[in-house]
Amino acid sequence: MSTTSPPPPRTHDARGSRSGRVVLMCGPSGAGKSTYARALERAGWTRLSIDVSAWARGYRHWPVPVEVARSVDAVHRARLHDLVEAGRDVVLDYAFATRAVREEYRALAAAAGTEAETWYVATPREVALARVRARAGRGPDEAVLTEERAAAHVDEFEVPTDAEPRVRVVRGAGPVVLPN
């Protein structure tokens, strides 16, 4: 894993067109994924967030029903493919809590013509849990979770390892500093 590698390279298809880049934000609830994803969004990236999409559909409690999560995910998968093919850079603001889910999305990015990079937001457990406790539910990036659910997100999260390709560790405790 790297803390200093450059952003994912821009790739080109057989026609020489640039494919978009894909970053999978990865970390448990309260880690700071949305903070980093919003910073990339301000830098011109397209942000796909299950929380934002569920909020837009009127859901205010997390976790959202399974059928809603599946519906949002299907829409995001299609958008990811279209955006990457159009040369847009995309940040997926999900937890990517297991290696299996990260592998699935890496395959989606590859099918769209690019190689995804995972940004793991490393945050101390107590910092992540304190952030979740402080949420007021005023917007989609402030999903209110019970203490038990938040602790389970942190404790059951599968941290990326060196065996996974293109993983970058960013620090979730402190100011947001986008890697080069």
| pTM, to two decimals | 0.84
Task: Give the whole-angstrom CA distance, residue 135 versus residue 131.
Answer: 7
Regarding beta strands 11-12 and 18-19, do their DSSP bridges make them parallel or antiparallel, or are they unpaired?
A: antiparallel
User: What is the domain partition of the chain in residue ranges?
Assistant: 19-171
Is the pLDDT at 15 greater than 50? The verdict is: no
Task: Give the whole-angstrom CA distance, residue 32 versus residue 170.
Answer: 10
3-state secondary structure of 24: strand
What is the per-residue pLDDT across 131-166, written as a single tens digit (0 to 9) for each? 888 887 777 777 778 889 889 988 999 999 999 999
At 1 the pLDDT is 55
At 12 the pLDDT is 41
CATH ID of 19-171, from 3.40.47.10, 3.40.50.300, 3.40.50.720, 3.40.50.2300: 3.40.50.300
3-state secondary structure of 39: helix
Which amino acid is present at 171?
R
Task: Give the whole-angstrom CA distance, residue 177 versus residue 149.
Answer: 29
Range of lowest pLDDT (66-80, 102-116, 161-175) = 161-175
